[in-house]
């Protein structure tokens, strides 16, 4: 009896083995794909799949308001768990953070700004962006008024019980670093900015501070290193995220800029290669601002002079060069920082 069972199970063994083998392969494949869509290498572009996921899970519904001589653009998701104030850099404005839509016909939707806001909304942050009065933020004139605006806006929407965090890039980073000494934030992120820690007293009450910076900008990196040491000695929690350059790919621009199609993205990539703006491995040889790519594009096709996404392209070129630009590639680090300092 047992022999017969033995025999019949022997007969099935090859089949069982190959089924198990197949299952193993499938599981491995699922794991590989799961892994690649959940945890992208943050140094490179967000895979298109994740980018689309963001759009599936959240939509832009901004409201624009004018108050105290400036404009705000904001959105409160359902059941918000925190408030984030975001300060742009020089030449920026609140409208850059939101896609153009009937609700916001003047919105610009710069690629990095919009992805930061989308990630914030996905993580249930109520997002408030404010435009500076001048080209850049004025530490002297605008601190009081922005503090007033943030408080007023939080009260108006009944969000007083929520943690409040702030993110500032470049000029906005200096501004947020100064604002944080005068109003309570649970934590802050200073992007491509060392802050104004040489110009103000800082106590241990100062919020936990994450520096998101680009080490290619050595002077700034050295200052950040110094300020981090000072802040730590004063009992302030600090950390840093370093953002590196990365190579362009033919589809980078269409992957990251809504409204820019893949054939144009490939054409631009080829033009940049032909003109030597990128090297053999696709890295920018210079900052986008210092590269005459708009002129080259205009010479190739003068109708492109009026193309409405030139600023969007420029931002991605600056980002790829990795010297000084707004970046959403480190959004996971940024929002993890905020979320780990909520209480
Ligand atoms: C902003 O404007 C409001 C009235 O709209 C005013 O009550 C408030 O004092 C102003 N705040 C600042 C800081 O100017
Ligand atoms: C292209 O530039 C990158 C970054 O500067 C560099 O690491 C790489 O070696 C360069 N590639 C070539 C082929 O010159």
**Count of other CB atoms within 10 angstroms of residue 68:** 15
Q: Exposure string (b/e) for 10-40, b if CB count within 10 Å is 16 or more? A: eeeeeeeeeeeeeeeeeeeeeeeeeeeeeeb
In this prediction, residue 55 has a pLDDT band, given cuts at 50, 70 and 90, of low
Ligand 1 pocket member 68 (CB < 6 A) = yes
Nearest-CA residue for ligand 2 atom 5 is: 283
Hey, where are the domains in the chain? 48-244+325-339, 252-321
In this predicted model, what pLDDT tens digit does every residue of 178-236 receive, in sequence order?
999 999 999 999 999 999 999 999 999 999 999 999 999 999 999 999 999 999 999 99
Helix residue spans in the chain (DSSP H): 2-38, 48-57, 111-122, 139-156, 171-179, 218-233, 252-256, 262-274, 293-300, 310-321, 331-339
Q: Give the tokens for residue 318.
A: 């600056």
Q: How many residues does the chain have?
A: 343
CA 112 – ligand 1 centroid, Å:
31
Would the pTM of this model clear 0.75, i.e. be above it? yes
CA 144 – ligand 1 centroid, Å:
10
Ligand 1 pocket member 145 (CB < 6 A) = yes
Going by their DSSP bridges, the two strands 70-75 and 82-87 should be labelled as unpaired
Residue with tokens 């916001």, as numbered in its chain: 104
pLDDT of residue 328: 97
Ligand 1 pocket member 249 (CB < 6 A) = no
Question: What ligand has the least distance to the C-alpha of 152?
Answer: 1
In this prediction, residue 50 has a pLDDT band, given cuts at 50, 70 and 90, of low
Average pLDDT for the chain = 89
CA 217 – ligand 2 centroid, Å:
17
Mean pLDDT for 31-59 is 51
Helix, strand, or coil (residue 45):
coil
pLDDT of residue 14: 52
Residue ranges lining ligand 2, Cβ < 6 Å:
245, 279-281, 283
Fold of 48-244+325-339: Rossmann fold (3.40.50)
**Count of other CB atoms within 10 angstroms of residue 266:** 15
CA 279 – ligand 2 centroid, Å:
6
CA 244 – ligand 2 centroid, Å:
13
């Amino acid at each position: 009896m047992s022999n017969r069972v033995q025999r019949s199970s022997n007969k099935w063994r090859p089949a069982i083995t190959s089924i198990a083998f197949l299952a193993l392969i499938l599981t491995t494949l699922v794991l590989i794909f799961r892994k690649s869509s959940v945890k992208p290498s943050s140094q490179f572009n967000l895979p298109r799949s994740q980018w689309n996921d963001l759009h599936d899970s959240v939509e832009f519904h901004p409201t624009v308001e004018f108050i105290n001589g400036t404009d705000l653009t904001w959105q409160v998701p359902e059941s918000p768990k925190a408030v984030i104030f975001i300060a742009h850099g020089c030449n920026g404005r609140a409208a850059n953070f939101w896609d153009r839509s009937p609700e916001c016909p003047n919105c610009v939707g710069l690629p990095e700004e919009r992805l930061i806001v989308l990630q914030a909304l996905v993580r249930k942050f109520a997002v408030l962006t404010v435009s500076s009065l001048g080209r850049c933020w004025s530490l002297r004139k605008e601190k009081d008024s922005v503090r007033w605006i943030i408080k007023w806006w939080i009260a108006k929407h009944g969000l007083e019980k929520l943690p409040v965090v702030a993110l500032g890039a470049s000029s906005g980073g200096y501004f947020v670093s100064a604002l944080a000494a005068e109003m309570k934030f649970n934590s802050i992120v200073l992007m491509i900015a060392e802050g104004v820690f040489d110009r103000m007293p800082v106590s241990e009450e100062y919020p936990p501070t994450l520096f998101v910076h680009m080490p290619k900008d050595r002077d700034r990196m050295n200052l950040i290193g110094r300020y981090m040491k000072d802040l730590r000695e004063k009992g302030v929690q600090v950390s840093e995220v370093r953002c590196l350059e990365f190579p362009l790919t033919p589809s980078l621009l269409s992957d990251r800029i809504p409204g820019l199609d893949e054939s144009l993205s490939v054409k631009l990539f080829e033009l940049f290669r032909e003109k030597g703006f990128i090297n053999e491995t696709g890295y920018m040889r210079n900052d986008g601002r210092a590269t005459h790519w708009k002129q080259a594009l205009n010479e190739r096709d003068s109708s492109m002079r009026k193309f409405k996404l030139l600023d969007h392209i420029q931002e991605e070129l600056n980002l790829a060069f990795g010297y000084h630009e707004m970046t959403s590639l480190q959004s996971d680090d940024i929002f993890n920082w905020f979320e780990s300092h909520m209480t």
